Each structure stands twice: as C-alpha cells, then as structure tokens.
Amino acid sequence: MERLAGLTPRSSEWVLLVLAACAHVQPHARATPIGDDLTLYRDVALVRQRVELDGASATVPVPDDVTADDVLVIDGTAKLRSGEPGKLVVNFGAGGHHSIVVGYITEKLRWEAAYTMTATPARDRAVLRGALAIRNTSTLTLHGKAHVIDSELGAGRTRRTTEVAGALASPTPDGASPPAARDLGPLVLAPGETRVALVDPSAPPRRMHAVLVYDPIGTALDNTSSEPLRDASLGVNEPVSPKVSESFEIARDEHETAGLPAGPVRLLERHTDGSLAVIGESHLFEAETRRSNVDTIAMGTAEGVTGKRERRELTDEESRHRLVEEFVIEIDNTRPHPVDVLVREHLYRGQTWALAYWSVKEILQEGAQSINMRTRVPAHGQVKIMYVVVYTWGT
C-alpha cells in the first residue's frame, strides 16, 4: 500500500483501503461448496455452509475447531461424523446427487473495525471512511454473503447442535434486541486477513463544528444488568476530572451508519501541500452512543473552562425497590466570550433508570446508560446543571 504523505508507517494503517479478495475454492473430495452465509459476531462466527455432494458419502471441509457434534443439518437429511481435523464426513446411505446445508459456530473468524475522518480546510465538513479487517485463522476458504453484528453471540466454546439451533432461531441468548446487522456483501475469506470497506466512498461529507465536552466519569463504572448497584460510594469516591475537552462534533447520517461496528477513529486534516495530520482521536459507534445523532472527537484540553461534578443526594428506598440520586454539574468559564458545552453523564448503576428532573432545555439519551445535556456558559461566568435519576429493580 502506498504511504500517504505526512503519516508515519504506524499511523498510515488507519487510512483504510478496500482490498478485493479473490480466491479459487478447490473441491474437497466430491463435496463442492456453492456459497456460504456468514454472520460475524465479536466472539464467534455463525456459518451456514452450503455444499453439493455426489455419491453415498463425501467429505466436507469445515474450520478445524468444528467437529460433527458441533454441526446442525439445516436443510437435507444425512448422518455426520468427524474425520481428521477440518473434515466432516457426510453419509446419505444412497448414491446420487445431494444438496445439503449445515450450520455451525466457529472461533476461527475474528474482526476489528477502524475509521478515519478527513476534515475540510475550513473544518466544517468531514469525510468518513472505514474498513473491517477479518482474520481467518482456519485452513478453509469461506465464501458467500456476509454480515457483521457488533455484539457477542455468547456461545463461547459451547458449540453443540442445540446451541447452533438456538443461535439460528434467536441471535441473542437473552432475548434482547441485537444491534443492527451490517451487510458486507459477497466475500471470499481465504486463510489470513481480508479487508472490507464499511462506508460507501460516494457518501457525502458530514457537517462538523467545534464544541466543548465535559465527560467526568466515562464508561468504566457501567453496570449493564437490570439490578442496579447500590453501593453508596460508587461514582463519588473515584477521582473526577475537571478537564473539559476541545472537540469536534460531527453529524451522523442514520442510513449511512446503521449497523456500523464500533472501532477507533482518527480525525485527519489535509494541509495545503496535500499531506495529512492527525488532529484528534476517539471511538465511533460504541454501544453507549448508538442512539446519538452526532459523534464527538476530542482534540485536547480546553483552556479557561473547567467542570465539577457533585452528588447532592442519595436515597436508597429498599422497601420501594428504588434508589434516587441527585447530581449538580458546574461549568466555569474564564474566557472573555461565551462558550457552548456538551455535558455527558453516565448512569452507571444499571439500565433500569429514569430521569425524574433536569434543569436544562436540551437533553438527549445517547445510549443505554448515557445522556448529554447542552448549556451556554457566559463570559467570565458559571452555569450549574442539576438532574435527578431514579433506579428501580424487581422484587
């Protein structure tokens, strides 16, 4: 890949190009692959493998972590047994031409997503690019229609046919709604790495503007269960940063970004000589921001603007199965002009929360456990934001 001017060899890896993957699939014995259906999760891949067979029995290639006990016959009838690693023996008991579809889960397909945004010289628009690096650590070439879902299937190393059947019927073991699937189109996944473009190169630039962001807690404390954590010290004993970040806020296109998997992003700026420089780094499409209509990318610390977070009340009403917290966020501005600040708060105790009160006009839920509130702080002034959150749980 040609190195781009202004980027180091390490940072050039972030400028993702689409690599066309081509491979010729050799028949394995008398079993001919005719196309697979691949769903790529964070932890495993769910494969529907289609083959045509001539004769009473044949050997079908599978990833070398799959045995006959892991395989479910989805379409057709046959007896299966394991051969040597990476081979599945299919027996029909009678000769002739047969078609069969089998399903299994494999850990041999893993992926990572990464993105770049390139800002215009005026810093009012940014072009999004992204790619998925898929690593096939088996000896089998898989080819067919593929999707990526940014969640874990949760099957782990338990790949028996009952788990495969359950995964085919319901992609999420707990019945929750999964993230949207991103269609990757037809792929050839040979052993090694294949890179696939995630964003249409003809997509128009996205609007962007400067914004200050105060995010004092982050996601480190997030408890994703339906039972809230009731520890009184949670979120107040941890050090809270007063730092407010100089950031860019970039509009999302709902159609363009639907189903895109989370990954790191670098915001680039093109100089007049054509070279590129990194001006900010962040992550895109994380679970806690899936409902947001914007992305924010930090550039550095905002001089003259600081924040403070204080809990004013904690009431644990065990008999009523609810816990109430009240917080005040204080933003101080020593600059000689007003500033607009986005305050991001994480409702980390659990996912069964509701806001009972907030003192700002603009408030938006970004993800399952995050909200953002917007305020304007006057020159040499101060603004206080208050909100009350109520957590509940079952009997």
Secondary structure (3-state) at 43: coil
Residue 349: CB atoms within 10 Å: 23
How many Å apart are CA 36 and CA 103, to the nearest integer? 10
In a domain, 75, yes or no: no
Band (359; pLDDT cuts 50, 70, 90)? very high
Query: What pLDDT shows up at residue 174?
Result: 44
Closest to 103 (Cα-Cα) out of 131, 73, 61: 73
How many Å apart are CA 257 and CA 148, to the nearest integer? 13
In a domain, 313, yes or no: yes
> Is this structure's pTM higher than 0.75?
yes
Q: What is the mean pLDDT of the chain?
A: 84
In a domain, 375, yes or no: yes
Does the pLDDT value for residue 5 go beyond 70? Answer: no
Domain of 331, CATH number, reads: 2.60.40.290
Domain range for 374 is: 206-248+301-392
Band (26; pLDDT cuts 50, 70, 90)? very low
The secondary structure of residue 205, as a DSSP letter, is P
Residue type, 253: D
- From residue 354, give the alpha-carbon distance in Å to each of 343, 358, 387: 18, 11, 11
Classify strands 362-367 and 276-284 as parallel, antiparallel or unpaired.
Answer: unpaired
Residue type, 333: N
Tally the C-alpha atoms within 13 A of residue 168's C-alpha that lie toward its C-beta: 22
The string of pLDDT tens digits covering residues 250-279 is 999 888 888 999 999 999 998 888 888 999
Which strand (E) or helix (H) includes residue 265?
A: strand 263-270
Does the pLDDT value for residue 21 go beyond 60? Answer: no
In a domain, 81, yes or no: no
151: CB partners within 8 A, 6+ apart: 41, 42, 172, 178, 179
- Spacing of C-alpha 120 from chain mean position: 26
Query: What pLDDT shows up at residue 27?
Result: 30
In a domain, 26, yes or no: no
Band (156; pLDDT cuts 50, 70, 90)? low
The string of pLDDT tens digits covering residues 281-303 is 999 998 878 778 889 999 999 99
- For residues 198-226, average pLDDT: 91
In a domain, 372, yes or no: yes
- For residues 91-112, average pLDDT: 88
In a domain, 137, yes or no: no
How many Å apart are CA 319 and CA 286, to the nearest integer? 36
83: CB partners within 8 A, 6+ apart: 59, 89
**Which conformational region is residue 259 in: left (phi greater than 0), alpha (psi within -120 to 50 degrees), or beta?**
left
In a domain, 238, yes or no: yes
Query: What pLDDT shows up at residue 3?
Result: 33
| Token pair belonging to 2 | 């040609």
Structural domains in the chain (count): 1
